[in-house]
Amino acid sequence: MSKFVFITGGVVSSLGKGLTSASIGLLLKSRGFRIEMLKMDPYLNVDPGTMNPFQHGEVYVTEDGAETDLDLGHYERFVGQHMYQRNNITSGRVYSSVIHAERQGDYDGATVQVVPHITNAIKESWKKLENPNVDIIMIELGGTVGDIEGLAFLEAMRQFQLERPVEDVAFIHMTLIPYLKASGEIKTKPTQHSVEKLRGIGIQPDVLICRTVLPITEEHRRKIALFCNVRPENVIEEQDVEYSIYQVPVMLMEEKVDQILAKRLNLELPPIDLSRWNAMLEKVRNPKGEVKIAVVGKYISLTDSYKSIYEALTHAGIENEVKIDLQKVESEEIEEKGAEAVLQGVDGILVPGGFGNRGIQGKIDAVRYARENKIPFLGICLGLQCAVSEFARNVCGIKDAGSVEWMEPGKEEMDRAVVALMDSQQNVVERGGTMRLGAYACWLHEGTKAREAYGAEMIRERHRHRFEVNPQFVERLKKGGLVISGNNPDSELVEIIEIPDHPWFVATQAHPEFRSRPVEAHPLFRDFVKAAKAKKQI
């Protein structure tokens, strides 16, 4: 049977439970354990697919097309294995499934309640991850202990620990140890109250991970252990990292978290191999230069909106042994001040995905600035659509070319819609369209920068979009000098475009950032940063 490790949080949100869970997952996997991971989100949305990026951050897309919480990105980047629909559940999905079952008569007329029906549904989602090839299943609960939305999940955990052998279930609780500048002290009382709340529900944590800006003394550890009923050696310090989030696994290894868990779960502990990870950290510590990359987006004010983009750039910087000087640019700022005023001096420009018409002209202006000034450019999803629209307008002479997503409806609309909605037969339609979610194949043409970057003829990348390059304009774009370097082998839809007489001008309809890893940068990001590095002549 698989072992289970539950991770909860207290005191405040945004403590970094996802990052910590992923780091522990890496440690366990580096010791040879086969692991699975699950994120439980207490909100009532069925998934984050329609949630505002300013509220929720990015939507992380899995190989099988699930729209999930961004913590699954941490899991994939650290643990180095794909996540799927089964690796993320929400209260909305659980309640929806229970209500559907009730409507179908599955409960034989019983009164449907949170206990046992909702809690049973939650536990069933955990059991689905069990199989003989999985040693440890790590389950993270979003939010904090005390949130009303998370009570059903905590109750399910309480029940689950009683249904399993004592050595099969462990609990990690993550809290904040605040520092009060006025008194010059760190305070343990919030942690005590958080654990008290958890114990009142019926869960006794085995390990406490304490986020702190200052080191925890032995006296603090003993005090926390005494009042929280945890062994002193199981009180773990997780200090703010010095230079990279990728330090966290090494920090937790030094605190012996993986050893403590193995002992608690009655598992033999194989030796650990973090050589590849440590080699990566050495490059982070000792960059040989710096490149300035501008990310021109619509949701810049919230860092998590482009979390995977920023991480993929970091990975590319690591592989090229340079530090990324990230310039976060609101596309509307370019509309107000002009591209040259905002982007002058950058070594590379990246235009990421997004929805709607706000800030579109700023993105198109950024593309034009990159194209005309020979600045390395990478477009992603909406970034490709902006690149195609800019090329159609300013090179092919198609006045006001763009996407039907941005245009005012009119009779002449389709005469300039170089990006349009497509049905399942790849015909242009006025409304509706087919959403592409998850991994799709792409055939790369010989002699292109994309083919050179990937080093393969056929690749797969994850998608999340409804609009496509309009096939009716492809020949005209090609005659203008745009190279279609990648097509879907089944539909022949445009996947990747580039401009040949440019140091690096590549755009993809997919989201390659979801496949980037700290120990292996994504090829497109790697070569984009390489071109930016060459421009700066580092």
* From 210, 228, 381, 396, active-site residue: 381
Nearest-10 Cα torsion for 247, 250, 321, 76: -80
Residue with tokens 């279930």, as numbered in its chain: 169
335 classed as catalytic: no
* From 155, 255, 461, 513, active-site residue: 513
Is 107 in contact with 117 (CB distance < 8 Å)? yes
Using the 8-state DSSP alphabet, how is residue 409 labeled? P
* Helix and strand counts by DSSP (H, E) for the chain: 19, 24
Contacts of 63 (CB under 8 A, 6+ apart): 82, 83, 84, 438, 439, 462
Q: What are the residues facing 436 on neighbouring strands? A: 465
**Six token digits for residue 142:** 């979003």
* From 117, 315, 511, 522, active-site residue: 511
Q: How far apart are CA 469 and CA 229, in angstroms?
A: 60
**Six token digits for residue 521:** 């940068």
Tell me whether strands 3-9 and 402-403 are parallel, antiparallel or unpaired: unpaired
DSSP codes joined into one string, 185-210:
EE--HHHHHHHHHHHHHT---SEEEE
Integer angstrom CA distances of residue 100 from 43, 68, 92, 106, 118: 18, 22, 12, 9, 12
Q: How far apart are CA 361 and CA 359, in angstroms?
A: 6
Is 134 in contact with 35 (CB distance < 8 Å)? yes
442 classed as catalytic: no
Integer angstrom CA distances of residue 45 from 9, 51, 146, 167, 340: 21, 8, 20, 34, 41
Q: How far apart are CA 57 and CA 51, in angstroms?
A: 9
Please name the helix (run of DSSP H) or strand (run of DSSP E) that holds residue 40, with its range, or none: strand 35-41
Length of the chain: 538
Contacts of 29 (CB under 8 A, 6+ apart): 35, 79, 80, 81
513 classed as catalytic: yes
Catalytic residues: 381, 511, 513
